[in-house]
């Protein structure tokens, strides 16, 4: 059986309840939520409503209606950036941002939105002093990745918020990697916007993302269309979540996400986080002891993603060897985060990323380390 260590891309396997919830939504309910008054439509709406409540409780979103379902974190980030930034605006981003942030901003640069990178230390931590200086000039938004998808480097969000709040600048937090594994509260942090994936640490299926927009921010929707509400009016409803949820929602995906969250709540997010960080520690210690391995270590770790290189070996070749010879799934390369690799000094070749999840054990880490040692030893022998 494949040893799957690519949970930073998407978590696998999903908790046992996820498939069942999706199957029930498709087989026993099937109707479109929010669109009709018949029993099945009411049941579909109830599934969506219950899922919103679970997301809101887990992430500290004050009101479940403020939980906006999208198809992934990328869509959530696109709405946040394109709906809030206007020609001439200046936006600050960290040196760890994913292409989900960089590419929309590249597109927005064509209409005069100016993105400025606040550097991060090579250990992944944002330079708070540089952020403070950059905030002295007018800024419309600060956008920061909560934890890097390359190596789990966690940002000091409270410190970043303190600086943003002094100037009244909203913060967009890309919590694609952390929602479900790091405990935080949108309300306590008074976040401007939050974007996250349902299919990563929230343990739901692919096809569902989450967006939160603070009510005082007039963020324009990316799409208009049917919402099942105010159908007599050809203007898009102005209230959430309908303002941003045009078209039929992904009912099975949303049902599966709720089951993923049930699992997290049942196990306790802290327990899941401790487990993942412990596995990351085993990996780091084992890899650090191998000759030629160079770890890309964060100062503060927020997820279990471990990145490294081996002198003289291409990350893609290493991942291929792990796959072919040992049936181990890891991700090599730039992980859609070239800017983060520039910060870490691992651009353009990238790294091998090993990202364990809730279902992995100490034995899995031992098997990975033994297999990897085998690859390194074979290479050393062949060079003699
Ligand atoms: C930090 C970060 N932001 C955004 C994304 C995009 O997430 P999604 O695949 O849900 O669009 C990812 C996915 O890897 C990510 O790691």
In terms of domains, do 217 and 325 share one?
A: no
What was the pLDDT predicted at 381? 79
Largest CA distance in the chain: 78
- Look at residues 85, 41, 49, 11 and name the one whose alpha carbon lies nearest to residue 255: 49
In terms of domains, do 150 and 207 share one?
A: yes
199 CA distance to ligand 1 middle (Å): 10
Q: Which SS3 state, helix, strand or coil, does residue 188 take?
A: helix
Question: Which residues line the pocket of ligand 1, CB cutoff 6 A?
Answer: 72-74, 98, 100, 145, 149, 174, 176-177, 197, 209
Q: Contact 143/113 with Cβ under 8 angstroms?
A: no
342 CA distance to ligand 1 middle (Å): 18
In terms of domains, do 256 and 308 share one?
A: no
Question: Which atom number of ligand 1 is nearest to the Cα of residue 147?
Answer: 1
| Distance of alpha carbon 305 from alpha carbon 152, whole angstroms | 5
150 CA distance to ligand 1 middle (Å): 11
Q: Which SS3 state, helix, strand or coil, does residue 372 take?
A: helix
Cis amide prior to 21 (ω within 30 degrees): no
Q: How far apart are the first and last CA of the chain?
A: 34
383 pLDDT band, cuts 50/70/90, is confident
Q: Of 248, 267, 286, at which residue does a domain stop?
A: 267
CATH of the domain at 351: 3.90.1150.10
| Distance of alpha carbon 251 from alpha carbon 282, whole angstroms | 39
174-230 pLDDT, tens per residue? 999 999 999 999 999 999 999 999 999 999 999 999 999 999 999 999 999 999 999
100 CA distance to ligand 1 middle (Å): 7
356 pLDDT band, cuts 50/70/90, is very high
Token pair 């050809």 is found at 234
In terms of domains, do 220 and 255 share one?
A: yes
19 CA distance to ligand 1 middle (Å): 22
Report the residue among 145, 181, 193, 336 best suited for mutation to probe ligand 1: largest number of ligand atoms under 8 A from its CB.
Answer: 336
| Distance of alpha carbon 180 from alpha carbon 147, whole angstroms | 12
299 pLDDT band, cuts 50/70/90, is very high
**Mean pLDDT computed over 348-363:** 98
Angle between helices 251-267 and 39-59 (to 10 degrees): 40
Q: Of 267, 299, 319, at which residue does a domain stop?
A: 267
Report the residue among 6, 176, 209 best suited for mutation to probe ligand 1: largest number of ligand atoms under 8 A from its CB.
Answer: 176
CATH of the domain at 244: 3.40.640.10
377 CA distance to ligand 1 middle (Å): 35
How many folded domains does the chain comprise? 2
Question: Which atom number of ligand 1 is nearest to the Cα of residue 199?
Answer: 10
The pLDDT mean for the chain works out to: 97
| Structural domain containing residue 121 | 16-267
| Distance of alpha carbon 339 from alpha carbon 144, whole angstroms | 13
> What predicted TM-score, i.e. pTM, was given to this entire model?
0.97
């Amino acid at each position: 059986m494949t040893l799957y260590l690519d949970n930073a891309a998407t978590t696998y396997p999903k908790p046992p309840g996820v498939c069942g919830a999706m199957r029930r939504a498709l087989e026993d309910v099937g109707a479109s939520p929010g669109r009709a008054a018949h029993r099945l439509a009411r049941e579909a709406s109830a599934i969506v409503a219950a899922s919103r409540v679970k997301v809101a409780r887990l992430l500290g979103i004050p009101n479940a209606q403020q939980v906006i379902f999208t198809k992934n974190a990328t869509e959530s980030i696109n709405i946040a950036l394109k709906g809030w930034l206007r020609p001439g605006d200046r936006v600050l981003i960290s040196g760890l941002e994913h292409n989900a942030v960089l590419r929309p901003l590249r597109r927005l640069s064509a209409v005069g939105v100016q993105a400025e990178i606040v550097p991060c230390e090579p250990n992944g931590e944002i330079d708070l002093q540089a952020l403070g200086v950059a905030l002295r000039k007018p800024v419309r938004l600060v956008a920061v990745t909560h934890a890097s998808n390359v190596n789990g480097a966690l940002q000091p969000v409270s410190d970043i918020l303190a600086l943003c709040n002094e100037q009244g600048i909203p913060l967009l937090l890309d919590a694609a990697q952390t929602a479900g594994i790091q405990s935080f509260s949108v309300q306590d942090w008074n976040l401007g916007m939050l974007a996250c994936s349902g299919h990563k640490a929230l343990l739901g299926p692919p096809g569902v993302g989450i967006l939160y927009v603070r009510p005082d921010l007039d963020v324009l929707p990316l799409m208009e269309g049917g919402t099942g509400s105010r159908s007599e009016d050809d203007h898009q409803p102005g209230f959430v979540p309908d303002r941003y949820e045009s078209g039929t929602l992904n009912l099975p995906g949303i049902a599966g996400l709720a089951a993923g969250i049930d699992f997290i709540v049942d196990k306790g997010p802290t327990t899941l986080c401790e487990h993942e960080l412990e596995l990351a520690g085993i990996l780091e210690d084992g890899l650090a002891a191998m000759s030629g391995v160079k770890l890309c270590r964060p100062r503060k770790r927020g997820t279990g993603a471990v990145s490294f290189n081996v002198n003289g070996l291409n990350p893609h070749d290493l991942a291929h060897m792990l796959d072919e010879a040992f049936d181990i799934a890891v991700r090599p390369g730039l992980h859609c985060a070239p800017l983060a690799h520039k910060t870490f000094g691992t651009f353009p070749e990238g790294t091998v990323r090993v990202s364990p999840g809730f279902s992995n054990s100490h034995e899995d880490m031992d098997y990975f380390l033994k297999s990897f040692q085998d690859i390194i030893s074979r290479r050393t022998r062949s060079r003699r």
